[in-house]
Amino acid sequence: MLFIIHEFFENKVSTLFIQHQYETYNIFANIQERGLFYLIRIKDTSKKGSISGSLSLPVSCEFDEEIELIMTRKQKFYKTKGYKYLSNSSPFDFLDSENLFYTLHLRLTQFQLENGVYECIASNLDKEEFPPEKIKELYHMRWGIETSFRELKYTIGLTNLHSKNVEYICQEIYAKLILYNFCEIILANIILEERNRKYTYQLNYTMAIQICRHYLRQTFVTIDVEGLIKKELSPQRPHRQYQRRVIKKRWVSFAYRIG
């Protein structure tokens, strides 16, 4: 999935593509052809099969390199420096029987986070206007998208579909997006009272979604949506860290679940 984000950065509007899947050369080329700007996190150089790892870049250090690759499907350039061979099974929209080569421009920036982990960013932003520190700042802006995907997938339930027809699936996706936007608008207008408590409290998003869903479903009885959401609070406990448990899941169709 690709998202276009418009952010004001030093009085300029930058249009950025942020990717929510693994990197591919085809994505880079498509954005390049459209004349847009992108900033995409990719696997760092230590990961097997990563784009940065295949370019013989440093593993455990920071760098900021501009790279020009000539993409081709001709096998004689398989290990030729400056060329990137793509097999016929690798999707790439700009190589065919008439176009045997395609020039791709990449900028790879790797920096170290506070926890010691290295992150590698692919972009086409100007090095003078966007030095590595600004790349790092822009990368941090993607966190809102990460959390919104988590809410859409798990809290609202976008991983479970109830339809088989493509049009109905799209209808269900849009319905859940409307629910998400409706809940976000409600939460943005709720102001919590400050009290002398051990922790700072925040709104419980899961309960807020349930309340908003019930409100949209009800026909006759009017409920105080904001009042009910205000009662559902959860404490913010700082400096709590847990090891991330990565569990691969895919969406579950309705036909499979009823079987």
Question: What confidence score (pLDDT) does residue 178 get?
Answer: 94
Which of 59, 61, 65 has the alpha carbon at shortest distance from 47? 59
Segment 151-161, tens digit of pLDDT: 998 899 888 88
Segment 63-92, tens digit of pLDDT: 999 999 999 999 999 888 889 999 999 999
HSE, CB side, 13 Å, CA atoms: give it for residue 34: 14
Question: What confidence score (pLDDT) does residue 180 get?
Answer: 94
The residue that leads in pLDDT, 94 or 147, is 94
Under DSSP, the state recorded for 192 is: P
pTM: 0.63
For the chain, the residue count is 259
The alpha carbons of the chain give a radius of gyration, in whole angstroms, of 23
Domain ranges of the chain: 2-141, 147-258
Question: What confidence score (pLDDT) does residue 14 get?
Answer: 42
CA dist 140 and 48 (Å) reads 25
pLDDT grade for 13, boundaries at 50, 70 and 90: very low
Question: What confidence score (pLDDT) does residue 252 get?
Answer: 67
Q: How confident is the prediction for the chain on average, in pLDDT?
A: 81
